[in-house]
Chain A
């Protein structure tokens, strides 16, 4: 199994508070991603990173920011949590070697976030 650790695994927070989720990898993969999974929506990309300090937006990035100061860590911050951000958040990693064949992303166990 790919070495990906998400923390915390569960969190309940109040509306308006900032929240930071952490993803840590031991695979030295170049690419890291944050997805959210919601009923009826599947998995949607929030932000991704293609290297230290290199990040870009996904399809549902509003209300979220990310940082990657080290290869192994990718942080997702909800600047001011809202109830619509109640979701399961998944971190994923991939080596990014798209020379001949794209590589599959490997996912963490997920963080269940509830905003009350």
Chain B
């Protein structure tokens, strides 16, 4: 049973436009969420996170929104750049647990 779902395997956007990557979760005990970016032949790198006590967290061009009632989070990238082209993984965990549960990932392609 998949607890973290990224239902879009891929997304293509134009440079300069907004990229929106979505993630849904089923476990209501999750209270901390993270986004990772992965380039080919490299390990995932941490991008941004959000606690369940917040509904928004911003870091430069990256903003994560959390809708607890819908069990949904999204990552917004504005403006998108070709260097953002990568696979993005959503991950979640419960407070006190060090174990992350990952989604399957969404491949973002930003076209020049």
A residues neighboring B (CB under 8 Å): 4, 31, 33, 35, 40-45, 48, 50, 58, 90, 92, 94, 96, 98, 101-102, 104-110
Contact = CB atoms under 8 A, between A and B. Distances in A.
A110 B46 contact: no
B25 interface: no
Contact of A106 (B46, B99, B103, B104): B46
Nearest to B35: A104
Given A40-B104, A42-B89, A110-B42, A104 B98 contact: no
A65 B89 CA distance: 26
Which 6 A-B pairs give the minimum distances between C-beta atoms? A107-B43, A104-B46, A42-B104, A43-B102, A42-B102, A102-B32
Contacts of A107: 36, 43-45
Interface residues of B, number: 25
Contact of B43 (A94, A96, A98, A110): A110
B43 A43 contact: no
Contacts, number: 60
Interface string B96-112: 10111111110000000
Interface string B39-61: 00111111001010000000000
Contacts of B98: 31, 33, 48, 50, 94, 96, 98, 102
Given A43-B89, A107-B44, A107-B45, A102 B95 contact: yes
Given A43-B89, A50-B98, A98-B96, A105 B103 contact: no
A90 B99 contact: no
B34 interface: yes
Contacts of A48: 98-99
B93 interface: yes
A105 B98 CA distance: 9
B102 A44 contact: yes
